[in-house]
Chain A
Amino acid sequence: MREQNDYIVYVKDLTKVFGDFVAVDKINFRVEKGEIFGFLGANGAGKTTAIKMLTGLLAPTSGEAVVAGFDVRREPEKVKYNIGYMSQKFSLYDDLKVSENIRLYAGIYGLSRKEIKRKSKALLEELNMVALRDKLVGELPLGWKQKLAFAVAMIHEPAVVFLDEPTSGVDPITRRQFWEMIYKASVAGTTIFITTHYLDEAEYCTRVSIMVDGVIEALDTPKNLRLKYGADNMQEVFVLLARGEHTLQGKIKKEK
């Protein structure tokens, strides 16, 4: 049998209770190296609480989670060092230059001066942004900013990177370029843990979980989920599950 350390994210009966409200109710899943794991759910389903526990920001009430080899309850600081994180709401500092943002995050993740110099150069070249190194991040178009934020979140070569709605509001071409960066990272062995409201993006994931009212209601490859719920696409699967209509077989089909 495989050990929990074989997985990049190992979650067993993970639970969070606020007062008498069970925000996350005994969730279980495992994510393997290089997977693109889509973590979906309606607003208020418990996604954010779960992500906060997995990134070491919030202690679980019960259950366990091991992320990048570290226990989120016992070693939350080590978890933070060994993961990458990026969200649409918070990523880079607008009033710092491109190069300053890179230096700041590389420093926070404990890279040496020498490494920072080498990595900054490589990162800017890779993104075709060498000429923009002295520009304020606030002056960059959103799409560039998001690509830079993603690269910065991976500057310390984490085993897993958490992306919280990274493509919100970006144009359709940039959104796809962003996904190609995700694929590239995944092919290179980085595990991707991603949330999104664009349900076409759920199709790009290796596996997708859908949270409803604190529990994981479904977890499988997009193709299997489509087949299981008799849906044409992930949008239908999501609406079916999030509305709790999956128990009334084919209700959504009939309504069409």
Chain B
Amino acid sequence: MKNSIIQIEQLSKSFGEVRALDNINLSVREGEIFGLIGPDGAGKTTLIRILTTLLLPDTGKATVTGRDVVRDYKEIRKLVGYMPGVFSLYEDLTIAENLKFFATIFQTTIKENYHLIKDIYQQIEPFKDRRAGQLSGGMKQKLALSCALIHKPEVLFLDEPTTGIDAVSRVELWDMLKKLKRMGLTIFVSTPYMNEASMCDRVAFIQKGEILEVDSPEGIVASYEEPIYAVEGGRFYQLIHALRALEMVKAAHLFGETIHVTTYRRIAPEELARAIKEREGMDISVREIEANIEDCFISKLHQIIH
């Protein structure tokens, strides 16, 4: 097994009465894409800001590349790249000026590390004399990523890089991250999109400051034990209420063109179809399925609610 490059032990952070991080333990391996997945307000940004030495923890300990985030913050800053969730470059500097600025403060040159950013930067280089404030969202992001990489960091932190961008740009960004991984970088990325978990080597579910589960996407899916069925047919709204009214049904959730139903015991799919037919006169099709990542997260959320 590869060495751990980020080690987090019993880390907590509160803002006033809000416990943003509650006793977090995590270990990130060298060279992996590690996904921190959870909704807004779960603590994702707080954790990333502690790991990038921009925020002090209340209690607990975290090391990045073996260095302590509190004591060795100056060294860590040279070894990590950070792309925050909001665009934080200088809007009144051009693309080229922003990049040169970041290279200079990290005491390097664009030329020295150009190979790292080449694929990304080439896409915006034709516009290098345009001010950053005048770029489209996609271009801003490519510039921000270039600036976060220009000092050749060992670990790249990205805070919700795919939030608010369209599905096509999301696919492109994940392609870029995979290329960076092949160059040897460790990538720590947060996202609210469950379906992006499959792009990561390992993921952690985070909710209300607590880590609910850490595993590979395959491992998370494999450890899901409840019987789960996909139901189709009829009108969603009536159908979902009809399903929930059945005694055998534990939960029913909208899932794309189907409704995912979990039951208290394993049933034959026809049993569910028959019950709905008898109760509501609706014809539905039911098939047993494998849970996906979002089913797993929903199930974990239910466990902590109840």
Contact = CB atoms under 8 A, between A and B. Distances in A.
Contacts of A44: 136-138
A235 B167 contact: yes
Contacts of B171: 239
Interface residues of A, number: 38
Interface in B111-128: none
Interface in B281-302: 294, 297-298, 301-302
A173 B298 CA distance: 6
The A contact surface, by secondary structure, is: helix
Interface string B219-237: 0000000000000000011
Interface stretch (B36-44, B66-74, B89-97, B142-150): B36-44
B193 A233 contact: no
Nearest to B294: A172
A209 to B, nearest CB: 15
Interface string B146-178: 000000000000000001111111010000000
B301 A171 contact: yes
Given A42-B169, A141-B41, A198-B193, A168 B164 contact: yes
Contacts, number: 90
Contact of A203 (B167, B169, B257): B257
A222 B39 contact: no
Contacts of B193: 198
Interface residues of B, number: 34
Interface string A52-90: 000000000000000000000000000000000000000
Interface of B: 38-42, 136-138, 163-169, 171, 192-195, 207, 236-237, 240, 253-257, 294, 297-298, 301-302
Contact of A165 (B164, B169, B297): B164
Interface stretch (A8-16, A100-108, A112-120, A174-182): A174-182
A235 to B, nearest CB: 6
Contacts of A7: none
A249 interface: no
Interface of A: 41-44, 141-143, 165, 168-174, 176, 179-180, 183-184, 186-187, 197-200, 203-204, 222-223, 226, 233-235, 238-239, 242-243
B169 A43 contact: yes
A165 B192 CA distance: 14
A223 B194 CA distance: 23
Contact of A170 (B40, B164, B298, B302): B40
